[in-house]
Amino acid sequence: MTEQIPAEKLLQWQITAGVDETIGDIPVNRFAPVKKTDAPALGDTESAPVVFAPTPQQTESAPLPPPPTIALAGQAATLDELRAAIAAFDGCSLKETAANMVFAAGNPDARLMIIGEAPGAEEDRQGLPFVGASGHLLDLMLKSIGLDRTQVYISNILPWRPPANRKPSESEMALFTPFVRRHIALVKPDVLLLLGGSAVSALMNTNAGITKTRGRWMSYRDGDTAIDALASFHPAFLLRTPAQKKLAWRDLLTVKKRLAVQP
């Protein structure tokens, strides 16, 4: 009679051999022919794409209401009133984690308005846009085409710093874009320079990335107003990817040329 090996010893042997996980109770023959099914195999790139149909709740739901900031922004008749309206707005959690509101800097009568994405750590401490390492690079970039902060006007899509310098969310951009549009309407620049994908996405209503939109003139529209807008890389991105500075340099020359031909 064959001696039975205790189950405990069998388990210990399996663990020693590396069998430390169970997959199922029924054994599977991996060499058996695979039965064909109508469903595409996982990872099969040649199969037809899977279409996710919206649920009845999604198709029948009403469109989202406009953000409350539209009315608040429209009531601001001056830059000081706009600043006060943004400071008093409590409908965004970013205000609770930020140290200071970052409104704008530079000359509000300038022909060039620069709009970035969101304040960073140093901007949050000082309450001014582009004052950290990216701000220093922006100063050098402006100097390369004969400009400084007294000749431009600078702001951001968001006035409050997102935690950990994360990218602005779509909901945050949608909430603050009416303020930014009112900001542009009050400044009335001849040219907009949009730095970073978030600025382009918020103001130009496009999901195209910054690598596809940079260097191309676009038309920013707000009612009957149309302003020439150029997208370029954010200085923070250039600090991480210095090889792209040559493209940013071309964009700056393009802006300089456009400012030279306009009154």
Interval 111-136 mean pLDDT: 96
Number of domains making up the chain: 1
Q: Is residue 222 part of a domain?
A: yes
Tell me the whole-structure pTM to 2 decimals. Answer: 0.74
Q: Is residue 93 part of a domain?
A: yes
The per-residue pLDDT of the chain, averaged, comes to: 84
Q: What pLDDT is recorded for position 205?
A: 87
Q: Is residue 240 part of a domain?
A: yes
User: Quick check: 121 pLDDT over 60?
Assistant: yes
Q: Which one has a higher pLDDT value, 42 or 262? A: 262
Q: Is residue 36 part of a domain?
A: no
Residue 221 identity (one-letter amino acid): R
Contact (CB, 8 A) for 180 and 132? no
pLDDT in tens, 195-207: 999 999 999 988 8
CA distance to 20, 110, 111, 153, per residue, from 147 (Å): 67, 11, 11, 11
pLDDT in tens, 43-90: 333 333 333 333 334 434 455 567 889 999 999 999 999 999 999 999
pLDDT in tens, 151-169: 999 999 999 999 998 999 9
Interval 193-220 mean pLDDT: 94
Contact (CB, 8 A) for 196 and 210? yes
SS3 call for 41: coil
Q: Is residue 15 part of a domain?
A: no
Burial of 98 (0-12, 13-18, 19+ CB in 10 A): buried
What is the domain-level CATH number for residue 163? 3.40.470.10
Residue 200 identity (one-letter amino acid): V
pLDDT in tens, 33-43: 655 444 444 33
Q: Is residue 202 part of a domain?
A: yes
Q: Is residue 14 part of a domain?
A: no
Q: How far apart are CA 51 and CA 54, in angstroms?
A: 9
Q: Report the chain's C-alpha Rg in angstroms.
A: 28
Q: Is residue 10 part of a domain?
A: no
Domain of 145, in residue numbers: 70-261
Q: What pLDDT is recorded for position 28?
A: 54
